[in-house]
Chain A
Amino acid sequence: RKEVEQDPGPFNVPEGATVAFNCTYSNSASQSFFWYRQDCRKEPKLLMSVYSSGNEDGRFTAQLNRASQYISLLIRDSKLSDSATYLCVVNVKGGGNKLTFGTGTQLKVEL
């Protein structure tokens, strides 16, 4: 079983749609959680951290359920520029800055 699992997609959605990505992690010692975005042929960029209380940044909302070891990302009012691969990332306690990456979920927003 992979440490961080994501549906690879692709998710093809029309502009303006709401789309949700899910992620599960296997290591209960995971302590920090993030969503990164990676555009084609570019480096990953930090999109947002994920907290148990849930957090929102504009059209993006991230949720963490520690009991279920489940992380989600909701994108509202999708834009063409949201097309990218979204990586679910966890940091295990005691691992320093070492991160474990999911394989990513590809999103394609279409006209």
Chain B
Amino acid sequence: GAVVSQHPSRVICKSGTSVKIECRSLDFQATTMFWYRQFPKQSLMLMATSNEGSKATYEQGVEKDKFLINHASLTLSTLTVTSAHPEDSSFYICSCGYQETQYFGPGTRLLVL
């Protein structure tokens, strides 16, 4: 399978600050990457689809100005949570499209105080 890394694995920040999460495909080129969020005991929720070299496509109800996505290369996509609030605390997971399916990064736990 394909290997995807995600950094940081865990972050604690103060309310109002911005947090950047990086997602990298390590052994293949990913033209499409995906960003998910998962609250405890709930399903994965797709936030946006990140396409290399173009604007991300956001799912309904996800604020594009709050969750900034940049996919500048075939191996790197970043998600920036701007002006984070406690309700943004969650498990953020990226994935990379590969052979009709997706491979996931290990996730980032965000805690906003």
Contacts and interface: CB of A to CB of B under 8 A. Distances in A.
Interface of A: 32, 34, 41-46, 49, 87, 89, 91, 96-99, 101-104
Nearest to A44: B104
A46 B97 contact: no
Contacts of A98: 34, 46, 49
A100 B5 CA distance: 22
13 contacts: A32-B100, A32-B101, A42-B106, A42-B107, A43-B93, A43-B104, A43-B107, A46-B103, A91-B100, A96-B97, A98-B49, A99-B102, A104-B43
Contacts of B105: 43
Majority secondary structure of chain B interface residues (helix, strand, loop or mixed): strand
Interface in B53-93: 91, 93
A96 B54 CA distance: 16
B51 to A, nearest CB: 9
Nearest to A49: B101
B11 interface: no
Contacts of B46: 98
A102 B1 CA distance: 22
Nearest to B30: A97
Closest 6 CB pairs of A and B: A97-B97, A43-B104, A103-B43, A32-B100, A43-B107, A43-B93
